[in-house]
Structure formats: structure tokens, C-alpha cells
Amino acid sequence: MAEGKTKRRAPPRRRRGEAATEADVVARVLRAHADGDYAARVDVGAIRDPVLAGLAAVVNVAAEQARVRQDEVAARMEAVRLGVDEAIDAMVRLVVQGDLTGSLRLAVTDAALTPLIAGVGQVMETLKRFVTEIREAAIQLSASSAEVLAAATQNENSTAQQATAVHETTATMEELKGASHQIAENAQTVATIAAETLAATQQGEQAIRAFMESMEKVRHNAVEVDEAIGKLSRRVERIGTVVEVIDEIADRSDLLALNAALEGAKAGEAGRGFSIVAQEMRRLAENVMESTREIKNLIGEIREATHAAKEASDGNKRMAADGERLGGAAMSSVMGILAGAQGTSDAARVIHLATQQQRSATEQVVQSMGEIESVTREAQAGSRQATGAAAELARLAERLAAMVQRFRVE
Amino acid sequence: MSPGLPLLLFQVGARVFAAPAADVRRIGGSLVERPEEAVPDTALGRPWDARRGLVVDGGDGAERTVLVDGVLGLRAAEGDELVELPAFARDVISTRALAGFARIDEVPTLVVDLPALVRERRDGEAAPDREETNRHG
């Protein structure tokens, strides 16, 4: 392939294979152009085909024009690049130095850079405006963030105090719940004891009634015993009377026997038999008197026994009467106690129910306080976060203010 | 006192005496039909209960009843059981109504002359001195 300048010559006569080869040459140059190599040329003089030669010439012209254009574009692009770079450098310098008071001045002047310059100017104006607004906003933001920080700090303190108060209240409610549990248990115990006391009092009433009935029976029995003792005493007295008669008879018999013996003794031998009979009679009388003495002794013992029995019976009657009286007093007391025990049992039952309700309510309150405490802790954490965020915001505001402070807009 | 004398044993207070049965007309109870005939208090002492009365001849044609606590029975005293009262005892004892001693069941027992005792009492010759009687008995 021939490079550089082209020169027109009369195309030589060629054969068919040579046409294909010339087309390839043209194709290769076109491919090089497609690849961006506009320096590639077709040697027109080497092409015999007039059409191809014409085409080759056109290709060469197009390539030349493209190259020129490319060079021009490249030059402009370079200029623009330089201008952009300059603009960027100028903007960077402006931004770095923070001087937004002037305008952009470029060493490279190109019409293509006019929009850029205009845009940059707008950017600078916009930037100036932004900086001014940001500065004002930074100032306001700094002030507001300080207020927010103060409010957040106060809120955090208040939340901390609230959390402390809630915690103390929760602890107090826990103690109250424990006390309520104990009270409820004690109330249950009291109710149970009151019920047992009531039952025992009722049993006591029954026992006293049974006791009074027994006393009545004892008194009745004592009266019967008294009557029996009276009958016995009367019979014993009758026996004593009979024994007195027998004793009198025995005494008289003894006396008679003595007189008989006396007369028999006086009669001497003639009265011997009489004396013997008198002696036997006296012995009989002595036996009778001995028996009557024994009977009298027995009667005396019976009298003593009946007297003792009578006294015992009288004592029993007195004790039965005392027992009835005491039983009546005890019954009155027990009835009073029973009424009191009934009232106590009822009151204890009511108290037990109330304490159960109180315990349930206390447990609910404790649960609610626990939830409140959890929420409070979350709020406290949120307050701390808010305070932290407010502090961070204040720092950011300060940083922003410091950042925009270095920009001069006037 | 002759052997084989039937003696009536009687008791006055705590002491036992004997008297010839022939001197006792009868034995009675403590109740006397006529109180003036009762002799409750003699040289022998005063009876505790006076359940029996020994009716004797009062010496004035009337009967007297010597009150005693009891009549124990009749005993026939044999010869060696009867002892006359010694002379010195007769002199020192204030009453003359004691005839002697009889050994009854080996126990010396005064034999009393009841009619004489009644007469003494009636006449007031012997005041009943229980201490002195107990000492000599």
C-alpha cells in the first residue's frame, strides 16, 4: 500500500484476479478508517479499475477530510480540555481558596467553552448563593441544634428522673405485691381459723346443750335418789323401831332369866333345873341382844351411809343446779361468742375476697409498672440517642459553619 | 360367908362386885316405880348407865333398888374362893357393907352386903369417895 501523497496515473490493464486484490486493498483501507486510522490511503495509481480507482480517490479524499476534521476536533477537544481543565482548576482554586466574590477568567477562549464558562458562572453564582444560604442555614442550624441539644439534654434528664421514679415505684409496687400476697395468705388463714372457730363454737354450743341435758338428768336422778334414800331411811327407822322392841324384849327376857336364875340359886338344889333353864334363857336373851346390837350397829352404819348418801345426793342436786346455772351462763356466753364468730367468719371471708382482688390488682399494677419501666427505659435510651444526635447535629452545624465560613461571597 | 354361897355378880362403873344372891329379892330394870326407892349413889360409886336395879330389903319394911350398870350373872363361890375381910381393912374402909372377897376367875372381887349398903346410904354413914374406893378396890 502506498502511503502519504497520492498521484493520479492512467490505470493499467488488469485481469480479474487483480480486481479482487484491488478491492481488498480498498477494503483494508476502509477497515483502517473504520478503526479510526484515517491516515491510511489507497494508492490510486496502483488501481487499474476505474471504478475502484475513483472510489479509492474518493476514499482518500474522505479520509483526508476526516483526518483534517479529526485533527480539528482533536485540536478543539484539546482546547476544550485545556479550557475545562483550566476551568476546573480555576473552580478548584476558587473553592479551595473560598473566594466566590469574583468570576471565572480562562486563558483559553473557545466558543465551545462559552456554555461552560456560562455554566461555571452559574455554578459559581449558584454556589455563592448556596454558600450564603448554607451559611445562614448553618447559623440557624447551629442555634437550633443548640436549642435541640439543650431540650434533648433536659428531656434526657427528665427521662432519667422518670425512669428512676418508675423504677422506685416498681420496686415499691413489688414490695406491695409481696405484702398483698402475705395479707391475702393471712386473710385466708384468718378466714380458715374463723370458720374453724365458728365450727368449734357450734360444737361447744352442742356440748353445752348436752351438758345441760345431762345436768337435768343428774338433778332428776338426784331427786329420785333422794326419794329412794328417804324411803330407805324411813324403812331403816322402822327396822330400828322393831329392833328396839326386840332389844327391849331381849332385855326383859334377860332380866327375867336373871330373876329366874336368882330364884333358882335361892332355891338351892331344888332350883337347879330352874337355874339351868334360866341360864339358857339368859344365853338366848344375850344372843338376841348381841344380834340386836349388831343390827343397831348396822342400822347406825346404814344411817350414816344414808346420811352420807343424802348429803351426796344433796350435793349432787346442788352441783346439778349449779351446773345448770353455769351451763345457762355458758350457753349465753357461747351464743354471744357464736354470734361474734359468725360475724368474724363473714368478715374474714369478705376480707379474704377483698385481699384476693387487691392481690390481683396489685399484680396487674406491677405488670403495668414493669411495662412502663420498659417503655421508660426505651424512652431514656431514645433520649440519650436524641441527645447524642443533637450533640452530633450541633457539632455538624459547627463544622458546617466552619466549612462555609472560609468562603467569601462578598 | 359359907361355901357354896351363890353370889350375884354386878357391875358399877368399871368395877365388878359380888353380893349374896339371897340378899337380892329380884333384879329389875333401870326404871323404878317409886323414885324414892332408888339408890343411885352408894359407896360403890355411881353407875354410868344404871341399866339394872337390885331390889333389896331397905330395912324399914320397904324395898330399895340399888342401881347398877349391869348384872353379870350368878356364881356359886366354893370355900377357898371366899375370904373374910381382914380386920385392919374393916377398920380403914369407911363402909361397913363389905363382907369380904370372893375369887372369881382368879380375880378378887368384893362381896357387898347390899342391905347394909342401902342402910348406910339411907343413914348417911358412908359418903361415896370414889377415889378412896378405887384405891382400896
Helix then strand then coil, % of chain B, to nearest 5:
25, 45, 35
Q: What is the pLDDT of residues A272-284, one digit of tens each?
A: 888 889 889 989 9
Q: What value does the mean pLDDT take over residues A28-53? A: 89
Confidence band (pLDDT; 50, 70, 90) for A184? confident
Q: How far apart are CA B73 and CA B21, in angstroms?
A: 10
Interface confidence (ipTM) of the complex? 0.83
pLDDT for the residue numbered A17: 65
A280 touches chain B (CB under 8 A): no
Percent of chain A with pLDDT over 90: 12
Within 8 A of A275 by CB-CB distance, chain B residues are: 74
Q: Which of A76, A79, A95, A6 is nearest to A46 (CA)?
A: A6
Residue A246 has pLDDT above 80, yes or no: yes
pLDDT value, residue A3: 44
Mean pLDDT of B16-33: 87
Q: Is A354 on the interface with B (CB under 8 A)?
A: no
Q: What's the rounded mean pLDDT across residues A35-50?
A: 88
Given this model, what pLDDT does residue B136 score? Answer: 47
Q: What percent of chain B clears pLDDT 70, i.e. is strictly above it?
A: 85
The per-residue pLDDT for range A59-116, each reduced to its tens digit, is 899 999 988 988 888 888 888 788 778 777 777 777 677 777 766 676 767 777 778 7
Parallel/antiparallel/unpaired status of strands B15-20 and B38-39: unpaired
Given this model, what pLDDT does residue A366 score?
86
List CB contacts of A296: < 8 A, sequence separation 6 or more.
Answer: A240, A243, A247
| Angle value at C-alpha A129, between A126 and A133, nearest 5 degrees | 135
The pLDDT score that the predictor gives to residue B125 is: 43
pLDDT at residue number B69: 93
Residue B137: its pLDDT value, please?
44
Can you tell me the distance from the alpha carbon of A359 to that of A65, in angstroms, rounded to the nearest whole number? 102
Core vs surface per residue A283-300: b (16+ CB within 10 A) or e: eebeebbeebeebbeebe
Q: Please tell me the distance in Å from B37's CA to the nearest CA on chain A.
A: 19
User: Any chain B CB within 8 A of the CB of A255?
Assistant: yes
Whole-number pLDDT of residue A99: 75
| Distance of alpha carbon A308 from alpha carbon A304, whole angstroms | 6
pLDDT confidence band for A251 (50 / 70 / 90): confident
Give, as one character, the DSSP assignment of residue B42: B
Look at B8 and A262 and tell me if their CB atoms are within 8 Å. yes
Which pLDDT value is given to residue B13?
92
Rounded to whole angstroms, how far apart are CA atoms B98 and B106?
19
**Residue A396 pLDDT:** 86
Residue B5 host element (H or E): strand B5-12
CA distance A357 to A43: 114
For residue A241, the model assigns a pLDDT of 92
pLDDT at A5 (0 to 100): 47
Out of A251, A265, A282, closest to residue B21 by CB: A265
What pLDDT, on a 0 to 100 scale, did the predictor assign at position A70?
A: 83
Quote the CA–CA distance of B107 and B10 in Å, as a whole number.
Answer: 14
A10: pLDDT strictly greater than 60: no
- Whether the predicted pLDDT of B63 surpasses 50: yes
Q: What's the rounded Cα separation, in Å, for the pair B104 and B83?
A: 11
How confident is the model at residue A2, as a pLDDT? 43
User: What are phi and psi for residue B105, nearest 5 degrees?
Assistant: 55, 45
The per-residue pLDDT for range A328-370, each reduced to its tens digit, is: 898 898 888 889 888 888 888 888 898 889 889 988 988 998 8
> To the nearest whole number, what is the mean pLDDT of chain A?
84
**DSSP type of residue A107:** S
Query: CA nearest A343: which of A195, A136, A124, A176?
Result: A195
Number of neighbours of residue A386 by Cβ within 10 angstroms: 20
For cell 456554555, the residue is A115
What is the per-residue burial (b if ≥16 Cβ within 10 Å, else e) of A239-248? ebeebeebbe
- Quick one: average pLDDT of A208-215? 88
CA distances from A284 to A35, A79, A253, A255 (A): 189, 190, 9, 12
A266–B6: do the CB atoms touch at under 8 Å?
Answer: yes
Phi, psi of B107 (to 5 degrees): -110, 125
Compare CB distances from B71 to A258, A265, A275 and report the shortest one's residue.
A258
Q: Tell me which DSSP letter residue A408 carries.
A: B
Question: Which of B27, B29, B51 has the CB atom closest to A262's CB atom?
Answer: B27
In this prediction, residues B17-30 reach a mean pLDDT of 90
Q: Mean of the pLDDT values across residues A161-172?
A: 88
Interface test with A, best of B9, B10, B27 (most A CBs within 10 A): B27
Among A142, A161, A52, smallest CA distance to A379 is for: A161
Gap between the Cα atoms of A114 and A56, Å rounded? 40
CB-CB neighbours of B3 under 10 Å: 11
Name the closest residue on chain B to residue A262, using Cα atoms.
B21
For A2-18, the three-class secondary structure string (H helix, E strand, C coil) is CCCCCCCCCCCCCCHHH
A288-310: average pLDDT? 89
Which cell goes with A206? 352442742
The pLDDT assigned to B130 comes to 46
The size of the A-B interface in CB pairs under 8 A is: 30
User: How far is the C-alpha of A401 from the C-alpha of A89, rounded, in Å?
Assistant: 25
pLDDT in tens, B79-135: 777 777 777 777 777 777 788 888 888 888 999 999 988 888 777 644 454 444 554
Q: From start to end of chain B, where are the E strands?
A: 5-12, 15-20, 24-29, 38-39, 52-57, 63-68, 70-77, 82-84, 98-104, 107-112
Confidence of residue A20 (pLDDT cuts 50, 70, 90): low
CA-based end-to-end distance of chain A = 66
Decide: pTM greater than 0.80.
Answer: no
Nearest to B27 among A255, A266, A275 (CB): A255
